[in-house]
Chains A and B, each alone.
Chain A
Amino acid sequence: MKRYVYIWFRHLMTNRYVRKYPEYETRVFVLAANRSGRRVVTASSARAESLGIQTGMVIADVRAMYPALEVIEDPGFSPEKLLEALAEWAIRFTPVTAIDPPDGILLDATGCTHIWGGEKSYLRDIIHQFRNLGYDVRVAMAGTPGAAQAVARYGRQAEVVESGNEKEALKRLPPEALQLEAHTLEKLHKLGLSCISRFIDMPPRVLRRRFGQELTDRIAQVLGTVPDYFEPVELKEPFRVVYNCLEPLRTPTAIRKAIERLLKRLCDRLVENEMGLQKAVLKTIRLDGKVQEQVITTHHPSCQTAHLIKLFELKIPFIEPDLGIETFILEAPLVTDLPPGQEKLWSVASQSDQTEIARLLDHISGKGGIIERYLPAEHYWPERSYRKADSLHEKSEVQWQVTRPRPVFLLPKPEPVSVAAPVPDYPPINFRYKGKLHTIHKADGPERIEQEWWLENGQHRDYFLVEDTEGCRYWIFRAGHYDEKGAQWFIHGFFA
C-alpha cells in the first residue's frame, strides 16, 4: 500500500526572500518583474496576498490600490532549483522525493511514517520543520500522488486520506484540484460541474466524449486505478568514503592498507560513473582528535587504485599516527570525465604510453620534482625563443627555428667578458672568461638579434659563434654597436 505526501509551498519565492532578508518578514511586499512590457507581480508575500494581491497582477494597478506596498525587483532565482534543494533537504523524511514545479514537492512516504509514530505526527513534523526553515506549507497524505496533491492544495491542512478513500475525499473539492487543462476546466464550469462529486461517478465513456481522454485518465490516476509517474530527485553524492577502524592504526603498513581499502571503494564508484579524480584529499582523525590532511594531484584523471595508492605511499611518512588513527576520510574534490581510452589509431605513441608517463610524472611531482616541457615560441630573442608547455599533450603551432645554430647550454644571464676586438664588426681576437684567456681561432657571425621593442627596450646583440684554440665553442655577443672605447661583450652560451 503506497502512501504519498504532497507539500505545497504557498509562498515559495517570497518565503525565500524573507529567509534571505529577515527584515522583510513583517512588511507587505511583492516581487515584480517585466513581462511583455509591463511590470507584473511574480510572487506575492503572505501579507500582500491577504490584501488580495495575486501573482500576475500589474504593478500599476496594485500601486493604485495600495500605495504603501513595497515592490521589490524579482532576483530571478529559478523555482525549480529551489525546489530541488528543498527536495534534497526533505530526504530526512523519506528516501524518495520528487519536485512538482512551480511550487510543490512530492514525497513517497511508504513505510516511513512509523518512525514518527503515525501519519498525523509525520505530517505535523513536516509542517513544523518547514516552518522552522521559513516556508509556509500545506501538506496532505493520500494513497496516490494525484489525490495527495489535490487535498494539499484544496483540502484541509495536514489531511490524511486513507488508501481507498480517495474518491470520498475528492468529492467535495473543485475540479481544479485534478490539475486539468484550462479549457477542460472552463468546459466543466460552463456545464455547472463545479464540484468533483458531480461528475466523478459518470461513466468514463460519457466523460471522454465530452471532455476528452485527459479527464478520464486523470481521474483514473488520482483514484489509483492507473499508476501515476513521477521522477525522483537524484542525489549528487559527493565522492567521499569513510573508514572507521575497530582499533586505532599506528603502523605505516596498516595505514597503507586502510588507504588502499578506501581507494578501492572510491575508484569503484569512479569507474561506475566513468570519472577520474585529479585531486584527492585524505583526512586522518587521530585518537586525540587532531585532523591531518594529505593531498595528491594527478596529471591525468585517474581511477586506478594501483596508481593512486603509489601516490599516497609517498605521503604516508608525513602522517603522524601518534597514539593511532581512528578514522580515515577520503574525498575527491576534483573529478573529471575520463578521456576515451584510445585517441588515435595511427599514432605510434599509444595512449597507454601517455597514461603511463603521466602516472610517472604524478609520482615525481609527488616527491617534489618540477616538471617542465618546452615548445617553440615565435621570438628570435634567445631567452624568449621557447615557452613552457601547459600539458603533456600540447602541440605547438609554430616550428623550432633551425636556420641558425643554437648552443646546447645557455647561461641564465649573459655574463660580461673582457675582449680584445680591434676591428669593427669582426669577432674579437680573444676574450677572458672566469680568469682564463681564450684565443679565438675561428668564428662564425655576426648574427644580429634585435630587441623586440614591443616587449622590452634595450640594445641589440651581435652574436658570434667562436672557437678557441682548444676547440671549445662559445656563443658571445656584443651589446649595441661597435664603439672605439669598447662596447660591452658577453658570453651567453656553450656549443657542443
Chain B
Amino acid sequence: MESELVRKLKKEILEMQGIKPMTHNRSVETGLGPVHHAFPYGVFPIGIHEFVSQEPEEAAATTGFMAGLISKLVRNDGTCLWIGNRRKIFPPGLNYFGVNPERIIFVEAVRNADLVWMLEQALRCEALGLVIGEMADMDPGQARRLQLTVEQCRVSCFLHRYRPRIASASYAVCRWRVKPLPGHTEEGLPGVGFPAWEVSLDKVRNGYPGSWKLQWVEDHFEFEQTAERKTGKSALLHIA
C-alpha cells in the first residue's frame, strides 16, 4: 500500500522535473537491455540526450550508436532532422544501422545561433520522429530554452557535441560517451567483426550512471557482458 503511494509520489516528482517517458507513455524497445536499468523507471527518457566525443574516431562511433538508436526509436517511416554545421555523414553508411537515409533531412546551418533556433523550431514540429543536432557548444541560456521546448513538445533530441570547450552543462537528461572497441572475431578468421563500443552513461537525471560494452549485430545491440553498474547513489531523492 505504502509502496504504491511512494511510487505515485515519485512519479509526480519526476513529472514536475520534466522527466517523461518517451513516445506517449508507450515504453519503446530500444534493444538496450541492461542499460534500461539506468533510466528512471527503466524507460528511455524523453529530452535532450547529449553525446560527447573528442576524436574523429569517437565521433564516428557515436554517430553509429546514435544511428542504431534512431533505427529503434523512430517508427518505420518517421522523418528525422539532422542539423549541423559541417556535414560529414556519409548517407549510405547509415543503412548499416538500419536507418534509411531517405528518411533523414540534413540541414546545414551557417551560424551557431541559427542552429539552436532551428533545433528549437524542429522540436516544436510534432511530425518529426527525432531531431539530431551537431554542435560543440551552446550557452546555458540557449540550453535551458531547448530543454524547456523538449519538455513541452515530446520530441526527443540527440545532441552530438564534438570537442566541446565546456565539458558539462546541466540541461541534458542523459550524457553519453561512446568509445570504439576492438571488434570480436573468431580466432583465425579474417575480418574486423561487428562494430563494438564502450557506451558510458556519464549522467542520467534521476537514474544510475553506468558503462556497458556492446556491439551492433545485424539489426540490434548485443551486450558482451553484463553491465558493470557503478555504485551511483540514487539520484531519485536528490531533488534540487
Contacts and interface: CB of A to CB of B under 8 A. Distances in A.
Given A373-B102, A408-B63, A496-B65, A400 B92 contact: yes
Contact of A471 (B83, B124, B182): B182
B183 interface: yes
B185 A409 contact: no
A354 B77 CA distance: 11
Nearest to B106: A372
A444 B180 contact: no
B180 A470 contact: yes
Given A353-B127, A369-B114, A466-B192, A410 B104 contact: no
B60 A370 contact: no
B118 interface: yes
Contacts of B67: 408, 496
B60 A386 contact: no
A192 B95 CA distance: 92
Nearest to B216: A496
Binding site secondary structure of chain A: mixed
B121 interface: yes
Interface residues of A, number: 56
Given A400-B100, A401-B92, A408-B60, A372 B117 contact: no
B118 A369 contact: yes
Contacts of A392: 105
B89 to A, nearest CB: 6
A406 B127 contact: no
B153 interface: no
Interface residues on B, range: 35 or more
Contacts of A70: none
Contacts of B89: 408-410
Contacts of A39: none
B29 interface: no
A199 interface: no
Interface string A330-358: 00000000000000000011001110110
Interface of B: 55-57, 59-61, 63-65, 67, 75-79, 81, 83, 87-97, 100-102, 104-111, 114, 117-118, 121-122, 124-128, 179-183, 185, 190-193, 195-197, 216
Given A357-B79, A406-B93, A442-B192, 11 more contacts: A353-B127, A363-B121, A371-B107, A374-B104, A402-B95, A467-B192, A472-B55, A494-B59, A495-B93, A496-B60, A496-B195
Interface of A: 348-349, 352-354, 356-357, 359-361, 363-364, 367-376, 382, 385-386, 389, 392, 395-396, 400-402, 405-411, 441-444, 465-467, 469-474, 493-496
